Chain A
Amino acid sequence: MAINALHSAASGLSALNTALDVTANNLANINTQGFKTSRVNFQDLLYIEKAQSGTLNANEDQRPMGVYVGLGVKVAGTQLDFQQGAPQLTDRPLDAMIDGDGFFEVQVEDQLGNGGKAYTRAGNFTMNADGELVLGNDQGRRIEGITIPDTAESVTIGPDGRVLYTEAGNPEQQEAGQILVATFINSTGLKQVGENLYVETEASGPPNTGNPGEDNRGSLLGGFLESSNVDPTRELIDLIRTQRAFEMNSQTIRAADESLRSIAQLRR
């Protein structure tokens, strides 16, 4: 029945709608530091065996293959793409990016992330009133264990994650703390919770936290920020494709509707 065609087309429209939403979000975050682009993965839905009266006949040999009709498409998932974004030179001493694998670990409410931890690639740090190193956004999430005294003059973040400062009249560098980097076995399984943050899930596996540059973790680049890895060309091509696919599926609905109308008018 053309009803199946209607459902297939409707499943196409709804999946493409999701793709449009994801592309729109990617493009909206084209200037968000540390943002990772997502893509929508489509896959075919189930198939039904088609049985029509008169299809099989006793005189015929057995059919070697089945007759089946697919029931459309579904969104199998959205997949994060963790390719590194381009380094963006800021010369701000408290900016840092991770060159390689890993995430900065920040403290959040327990209900937001497992164990009160969330993870981010955005290293635009700043200090709060207590001299603690925090994420430079409206929430000011803290990095654990790093306090910079207010007497500090020049602060630098080293490739190994140590935060060093000097004080007036003392040329020797002192350590304010150590920035840790966490990697995950399956980072595409992390959950996005907004604010550039990711939290651990069952799928991602537990974090493997340690010093930057060790054990396959990326090292830090002070004075740089990681740009968003959204590729505008690819996103716009996807946008065009999605829109055209949307139109084609709506044509299917029209065609299936015409078939049904022809049938509805069979009996005058």
Chain B
Amino acid sequence: MSYGIQIAASGLMTAMYRQDVYANNLANMDSVGYKPDLPTTRPRLDVIAEDGVGHLPSNALLRRLGGGAVLNANLVNFSQGSLKATGNALDLAIEGPGFLAVREEHSEAGDRVRLTRDGRLTRDRTGRLVMGSSGLPVLDTQNRPIVLRDGVSVDIDAAGVVRQGGAVVAQLQFVEVADKRALSKQGHSLFAASSDALASRKPASGMLRQRHVEDSSVDEVRVLMEVTSASRDVDLNASMIQQHDRLLDRAINGLGRPSA
């Protein structure tokens, strides 16, 4: 059995997966509060352990043959994006660790709390403070939406205390979770947290900056390099497959033929 062809195929498939993930990062280089995904792969165990072939006489030959590569879990790179001044009073950038909590109103499963780094806020027609992009209400520390009074200037300090005309209106739920690996991306700039992670919420150690937004923390140059190098990896693995194919061709069609 030609294991090489499958090992090369595993390399090809993981390379394409890397290309997909980096393409998505690059597409989101202007999405406020976006955190890039880091695709990871790991070596498979050697083929005997992976495929459970233990009874064949050729096992001794396979003993030290690696099994190729498989996908590993995605990691999210939570490094800080640069802050951009916008002058808009309802734009919040997060500097350092922390998330804003928003509520996703959902008919079947009840309301769910989501976390986001996208602080482009606005008010809806009832005066609630909501995410500008999706309209989800931003929550205070008691998981309630925040209602702002009309026409009074809004002041939000680094810890998330919302003031209007000097009087405290609300305290934004500005939190971090114990283990950021328990967050998974939902699209629409939202992170879903497991119930354990939600229970571990504590006041964030980062700071809020009013009138700023946090740019996407995608490093364009590096990501572009990764996208193109993934193409090369696909190409190399494809060449390996062709090489194995040629060997099989000779073995099948050439080996038994009487010499001409």
CA distance A256 to B88 in the complex (A): 39
Are B127 and A185 closer than 8 Å at their CB atoms? yes
Closest 5 CB pairs of A and B: A216-B151, A76-B133, A12-B27, A70-B24, A205-B125
CA distance A244 to B26 in the complex (A): 11
**Residue-by-residue, is B4-25 near A (CB-CB < 8 Å gives 1, otherwise 0)?**
0000001011111101111111
With A16-B30, A251-B224 already in contact, the answer to whether A57 and B126 are too (CB < 8 A) is: no
By a CB distance below 8 angstroms, the chain B residues around A64 are 73, 181
With A54-B44, A185-B125 already in contact, the answer to whether A245 and B185 are too (CB < 8 A) is: no
Closest beta carbon of chain A to B228's beta carbon, Å: 5
In the complex, residue of chain B having the shortest beta-carbon distance to the beta carbon of A39: B86
Are A44 and B224 closer than 8 Å at their CB atoms? no
Decide yes or no whether A186 CB sits under 8 A from chain B: yes
In the complex, residue of chain A having the shortest beta-carbon distance to the beta carbon of B40: A67
By a CB distance below 8 angstroms, the chain A residues around B70 are 52, 54-55, 57
Are B23 and A4 closer than 8 Å at their CB atoms? yes
CA distance A71 to B185 in the complex (A): 12
Decide yes or no whether B187 CB sits under 8 A from chain A: yes
Are A57 and B50 closer than 8 Å at their CB atoms? yes
CA distance A70 to B133 in the complex (A): 18
CA distance A245 to B34 in the complex (A): 15
Decide yes or no whether A137 CB sits under 8 A from chain B: no
By a CB distance below 8 angstroms, the chain A residues around B25 are 70
By a CB distance below 8 angstroms, the chain B residues around A101 are 151
Task: Please count how many residues in chain A sit with their CB below 8 Å of the partner chain's CB atoms.
Answer: 74
Task: Please count how many residues in chain B sit with their CB below 8 Å of the partner chain's CB atoms.
Answer: 71
Are B151 and A183 closer than 8 Å at their CB atoms? yes
Decide yes or no whether B74 CB sits under 8 A from chain A: yes
Are B125 and A79 closer than 8 Å at their CB atoms? no
Decide yes or no whether A189 CB sits under 8 A from chain B: yes
Are A46 and B187 closer than 8 Å at their CB atoms? yes
Which of A4, A57, A67, A217 counts the most chain B CB atoms within 10 A? A67
With A69-B21, A202-B125, A203-B124 already in contact, the answer to whether A259 and B132 are too (CB < 8 A) is: no
By a CB distance below 8 angstroms, the chain A residues around B86 are 39, 81
Closest beta carbon of chain B to A9's beta carbon, Å: 5
Decide yes or no whether A8 CB sits under 8 A from chain B: yes
Decide yes or no whether B45 CB sits under 8 A from chain A: yes
Decide yes or no whether B161 CB sits under 8 A from chain A: no
For chain A, residues 48 to 91, give those with C-beta under 8 angstroms from any C-beta of chain B.
50, 52, 54-55, 57, 59, 63-73, 76-77, 79, 81, 83
For chain B, residues 155 to 198, give those with C-beta under 8 angstroms from any C-beta of chain A.
181, 184-189
